[in-house]
Structure 1
Amino acid sequence: MTNQQNGQSKERVHRFVSKDLTLRIAAVDATEVVRHMQELQNTYPLATIAVGRSMVGALLMAAQLKDDQQVGLLFKGSGALRSVYAEASYNGHVRGYTPTPHYHPESYENGLSLKEALGIGTLTVARHLPFQKAPFQGTVEMVSGEIGEDIAHYLHQSHQIRSLVSLGVYLDSDGKVAKAGGILIEVMPGVEEEIVDLVQKNYDTKKPNISKMLLEGATPADLVKPFLEGIEFEELEHEKYLEYFCPCTKDRVIRALETLGEEELQDMINKKEEVHVTCQVCGRPYDVTVPEVQQVKERIHKESLH
């Protein structure tokens, strides 16, 4: 099995910092993991763009956390895509999902813009820390539905961090992922305004196109250069390779069966129905036998007596 087939990538998020420590930067070529998501879920173009950008954004945010910490992004809107979820960890694990993978607009007059597809709604960001029962959550209104701008808005509203987020997912003529990646520049407290102005000027004048640069063979370090022209920076060590990873297990499937209740479980037992479940996020199949369904029912019954 190749790396690409099992969701592993030879790539990693590259982290950088300006020499004066006032800017921290993360950049990534996430083509392989986004391509793996598309293969698993057979996402159509707009769903691929939405989930892909969300996965890239989550990876860039997670790279600035600590070991075993993770971040989840949930976009919920009034548009036909309804919602998009992506989750990534500091260790390079990432996954993404939309309940509408086969959404197809009536026309592509607006190109692959997500603004109408996601519509008006909210972005909820959850930060999970090891040994913490409940994650820290923050919710903001979406400002554009284009993912990158919404992440930047969240960072400013919830953490008072000014940032520049540029995400790209490029599809070939068959609608398949050709390249995916992005860059996140965060401005630390105490930065001189001239530095901020210079980053903004670089962005406005050069208009770096992440997808186009990746197609032309750019590395993550190359993605950073046009944004930081005139600013000295260096790369930090971050040897965490990307992997499309889903924590689903058979135990979780069985726990989900417990929500059906005794009556429905008994009906399945009477009909001798095995349960066949496929994880929508990673495509992994699970089979629960009739005796296992019986055990679930007996356990629920015992608990109901206490």
Structure 2
Amino acid sequence: MNNKYSDELWLGTLGNGEVRWVAVGMTNTVEEAANRHHTTPVATAALGRLMGASLLLASSMKAEEAITLRLLGDGPLGGVVAVGNPQGEVRGYVQEPQVELPLNSKGKLDVSGAVGAGEFVVSRSLANGESYTGMVPLVSGEIADDLVHYLLNSEQVRSAALLGVMVGKDSHVAGAAGMLFQLLPNASEESVQALEALLARIQGISQIAADSTTMEELVRELIGDLDYRVLEKRPVQYKCTCSKERVSETLISIGKEGFEELLEDKQAELVCHFCNEHYRFNEEDLRELYEQVK
């Protein structure tokens, strides 16, 4: 772990309970994603922000549910995908992880340019087996803006979001965090103004994430002197759901003809998109699976 404290997701309320907030410290988790996928700094930033967005959205879901976010832009990154669940488990990948771009006009990683124009797609997998998908045009490609745009247009929730990933000169993740504020239906004008003042004060969440030495410090720095309550704390980790058994099912699904070609090669290797794990099958493995195909 490259950071001073474990990654966590905290949930709470502001003021007199009119604003719900979720904060996620995820430096180690984004570092693991970067290591698994060998991403360049701008790809790390885009993937890390989207992973943070998936955790923030999933935080209000039921235990066995999950959320999948897709950035389908026309920029050089291609698609970016992240899957998060309420337990704080997250995984993701970038279609083109080796993209290099010059810094933007503010001297920061050009995530917007790397993502490009396109769609922000949100798919919710529910406990009852149903799933539904919402889609909005990307407004900036900076991901936090796109998340807020989605919540307002698809779910009629007034919110504000901060997502940041700081990548050091050595390409290590120096800090990564996200925060979501949601105004509850009874929110007063006073609460709205207090939240606006708070957001105007925050200079950059990635710098705060890099400078903070505890999750408590991160939250305090973000919320400032506003009265807040912490209602729940959850651990956060990079976790994939793949296994050799699941990958075997994928091989079986290619059918008899495709499998006979694999048997001629006497070996096969499949790689998981989400964690870059390599699964190797020797001739004996393939013959066992072929019996199931037949």
Q: TM-score, normalised on structure 2?
A: 0.90
C-alpha offsets along residues 52-84 of structure 1, whole Å, 9 cap, x if unaligned? Answer: 111111112222223232211111011111111
Amino acid at match of 2:278: P
Tell whether 2:166 aligns with 1:170. Answer: yes
Tell whether 2:110 aligns with 1:113. Answer: yes
Residue 211 of structure 2: aligned partner? 216
1:281 equivalent among 263, 274, 278: 274
Aligned sequence identity (%): 29
Amino acid at match of 2:206: S
Deviates most, 70-79 or 211-220? 211-220
User: After TM superposition, what 4+ stretches of structure 1 lie above 6 angstroms from structure 2?
Assistant: none
Number of residue equivalences: 290
Rate the CA distance shift 1:45–1:68 in 2: closer, same or farther, 3 A: same
**Whole-Å Cα distance in 2 between the matches of residues 68 and 88 of structure 1?**
11
Tell whether 2:259 aligns with 1:262. Answer: no
Superposition map of 1:91-106 within 5 A: 91-105=87-101
Rate the CA distance shift 1:224–1:41 in 2: closer, same or farther, 3 A: same
Structure 1, unmatched stretches of 5+, are 302-306
- Given that 1:208 and 1:227 are in contact with CA atoms closer than 8 Å, whether structure 2 keeps it comes out as no
Superposition map of 1:181-260 within 5 A: 181-204=177-200, 206-217=201-212, 219-225=214-220, 228=223, 231-238=226-233, 240-260=234-254
**Whole-Å Cα distance in 1 between the matches of residues 219 and 160 of structure 2?**
11
- Given that 1:208 and 1:226 are in contact with CA atoms closer than 8 Å, whether structure 2 keeps it comes out as no
**Whole-Å Cα distance in 1 between the matches of residues 213 and 181 of structure 2?**
18
**Whole-Å Cα distance in 2 between the matches of residues 47 and 31 of structure 1?**
15
C-alpha offsets along residues 189-244 of structure 1, whole Å, 9 cap, x if unaligned? Answer: 1211221122112322x133212212222544444446655642211123x21121
- Given that 2:104 and 2:110 are in contact with CA atoms closer than 8 Å, whether structure 1 keeps it comes out as no
Structure 2, unmatched stretches of 5+, are none
2:129 equivalent among 117, 133, 136: 133
**Whole-Å Cα distance in 1 between the matches of residues 187 and 117 of structure 2?**
33
CA RMSD, 1 decimal: 2.1
- Given that 2:121 and 2:134 are in contact with CA atoms closer than 8 Å, whether structure 1 keeps it comes out as yes
Q: TM-score, normalised on structure 1?
A: 0.87
